[in-house]
């Protein structure tokens, strides 16, 4: 199969691949620049970037300062061409400010999920930046399209359809996840395509979840998607921002280590069963104080652990206390190697 280019609005990439936004500090400027360099769309994850101490006094300003630094660094590494985007989760307490900072810094698109991004156009103003909602079903997309059309006269530049076998936070109930085959990428495609058709919206549909090889990519394109968003396969890329000890945890993990737990974000989250998760599954509660309210929906008095603290522990390589978000295809993660190797395998037409 010939791999098509991916065109979203006025931006185009050689391979039909978006490098997934992965917080905290996995999908940083290094990974995004490498993705762009090798012919994909690069994405910086905006969550948890700020210096922890400085964030205690001004969380919003510190988060924005580092986000802009990260965006500038990508431009230094690969020039102005892009396509470069920022992933901003709706669940963040500094959602609006983060979107505005990304727009001011001149990125090409915003990807937004973990909640319905119904107000996203409000925060980008007149900018013609590409807006890409992340959804897990036709109903959610319909809500977004209607709200954007009615209130802002705007349409999405593309849509990312996250399937039930995705990494990170999941837009499905636990019951739906138990019967993942009823929400497969093929079923979601038909559902989402019908909504796009209804609203006369001719935009690329991007599939996310469980794509780790050229063969997976071909399967998803054969369904009718225009491209894929890849996360898990890139977590241990040399350029990804986390400590090598944590990369090794992902490399050593088996499919049977993957579990779904309830996240302080308020959604199910797919993770590895590492010591922190075992303690939480046993009914434990971690000791923590909440230095800055990073999530709108989190109740620090009630949740069993602080997700910001846990994801920063992963970044530092603190295996005891880290939270290791992953997709189902963790066994595709085999060794630390430059991101370019994956794109070489696409180039060579390797179907394994
Ligand atoms: C470690 C990790 C961190 C993630 N962080 C984010 C994030 O910050 N924001 C977001 O919208 N999605 C996040 N995701 C979801 C990804 O953007 C992507 O949709 C998903 O990983 C695709 O599935 P795959 O992992 O099977 O390739 C994360 C996923 C992983 C595995």
Q: What is the pLDDT of residues 224-255, one digit of tens each?
A: 999 999 999 999 999 999 999 999 999 999 99
> In the predicted model, is pLDDT for residue 207 greater than 70?
yes
Position 352 scores a pLDDT of 43
Q: Whose Cα sits closest to atom 10 in ligand 1?
A: 21
Strand, coil or helix: 63: helix
Tell me the average pLDDT of the chain: 96
> What percent of the chain has a predicted confidence (pLDDT) above 90?
95
Position 340 scores a pLDDT of 97
Position 298 scores a pLDDT of 93
> In the predicted model, is pLDDT for residue 35 greater than 90?
yes
Class of domain 6-242+334-347: alpha beta
- Atom of ligand 1 at shortest distance to CA of 232? 25
The finding on whether 207 has its CB within 6 A of some atom of ligand 1 is no
Q: Residues 182-209: what's their mean pLDDT?
A: 98
Position 349 scores a pLDDT of 64
The finding on whether 9 has its CB within 6 A of some atom of ligand 1 is no
Domain residue extents for the chain: 6-242+334-347, 245-316
Q: Whose Cα sits closest to atom 13 in ligand 1?
A: 22
**pLDDT band at residue 351 under the 50/70/90 scheme:** very low
The finding on whether 210 has its CB within 6 A of some atom of ligand 1 is yes
Q: Which of 148-157, 297-306, 311-320, 343-352 has the lowest mean pLDDT?
A: 343-352
Q: Residues 124-131: what's their mean pLDDT?
A: 95
DSSP letter assigned to residue 259: E
The finding on whether 112 has its CB within 6 A of some atom of ligand 1 is no
Q: How many residues does the chain have?
A: 352
- Atom of ligand 1 at shortest distance to CA of 233? 27
Position 310 scores a pLDDT of 97
87: β partners? 45, 111
How far is Cα 52 from Cα 111, in angstroms, rounded to an integer?
A: 25
C-alpha dihedral over 167, 172, 174, 177, to 10 degrees?
A: -60
> In the predicted model, is pLDDT for residue 78 greater than 50?
yes
Position 266 scores a pLDDT of 87
Position 96 scores a pLDDT of 98
**pLDDT band at residue 194 under the 50/70/90 scheme:** very high
pTM of the model: 0.97
Position 347 scores a pLDDT of 86
Judge contact between 246 and 34, C-beta under 8 A.
Answer: no
What is the whole-number distance in angstroms between the Cα of residue 87 and the centre of ligand 1?
A: 10
Between residues 342 and 348, the one the model is more confident about: 342
How far is Cα 259 from Cα 280, in angstroms, rounded to an integer?
A: 12
What is the whole-number distance in angstroms between the Cα of residue 143 and the centre of ligand 1?
A: 22
Q: Whose Cα sits closest to atom 1 in ligand 1?
A: 325
- Give 316: exposed, middle or buried? Use CB within 10 Å, 0-12, 13-18, 19+: middle
> In the predicted model, is pLDDT for residue 175 greater than 50?
yes
Q: Residues 22-48: what's their mean pLDDT?
A: 97
pLDDT digits (tens, 9 = 90+) for 97-107: 999 999 999 99
Q: Whose Cα sits closest to atom 5 in ligand 1?
A: 22
What is the whole-number distance in angstroms between the Cα of residue 269 and the centre of ligand 1?
A: 10
- Atom of ligand 1 at shortest distance to CA of 23? 8
> In the predicted model, is pLDDT for residue 348 greater than 80?
no
The 10 Å Cβ neighbour count of residue 194 is 12
pLDDT digits (tens, 9 = 90+) for 261-276: 999 988 999 999 999 9
Q: Residues 170-183: what's their mean pLDDT?
A: 95
**pLDDT band at residue 350 under the 50/70/90 scheme:** low
């Amino acid at each position: 199969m010939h791999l098509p280019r991916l065109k979203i609005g006025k931006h185009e990439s050689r391979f039909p691949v978006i490098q997934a936004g992965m917080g905290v500090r996995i999908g940083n400027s290094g990974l995004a620049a490498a993705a762009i360099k090798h012919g994909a769309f690069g994405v910086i994850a905006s969550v948890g970037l700020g210096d922890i101490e400085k964030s205690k006094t001004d969380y919003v300003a510190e988060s924005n300062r580092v986000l802009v630094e990260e965006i500038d660094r990508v431009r230094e590494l690969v020039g102005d061409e892009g396509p470069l985007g920022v992933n901003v989760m709706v669940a963040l307490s500094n959602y609006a400010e983060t979107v505005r900072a990304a727009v001011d810094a001149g990125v090409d698109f915003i990807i937004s999920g973990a909640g319905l991004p119904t107000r996203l156009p409000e925060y980008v103003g007149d900018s013609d930046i590409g807006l890409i909602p992340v959804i897990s079903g036709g109903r959610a997309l319909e809500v977004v399209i209607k709200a954007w059309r009615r209130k802002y006269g705007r349409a999405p530049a593309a849509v990312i359809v996250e399937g039930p076998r995705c990494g990170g936070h999941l837009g499905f109930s636990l019951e739906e996840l138990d019967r993942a085959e009823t929400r497969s990428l093929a079923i979601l495609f038909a559902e989402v395509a019908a909504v796009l058709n209804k609203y006369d919206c001719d935009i690329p549909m991007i599939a996310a979840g469980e794509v780790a090889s050229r063969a997976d990519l071909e399967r998803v394109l054969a369904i009718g998607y225009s491209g894929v968003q890849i996360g898990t396969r890139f977590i241990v890329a040399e350029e990804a921002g986390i400590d090598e000890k944590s990369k090794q945890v992902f490399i050593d993990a088996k499919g049977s280590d993957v579990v779904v737990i309830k996240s302080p974000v308020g959604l199910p989250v797919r993770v590895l069963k590492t010591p922190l998760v075992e303690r939480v599954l046993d009914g434990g509660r971690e000791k923590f104080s909440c230095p800055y309210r990073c999530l709108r929906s989190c109740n620090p008095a009630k949740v069993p652990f602080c997700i910001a603290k846990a994801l920063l522990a992963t970044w530092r390589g603190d295996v005891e206390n880290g939270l290791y978000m992953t997709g189902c295809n963790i066994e595709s993660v085999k060794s630390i190697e430059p991101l370019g190797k994956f794109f070489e395998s696409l180039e060579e037409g390797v179907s394994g």
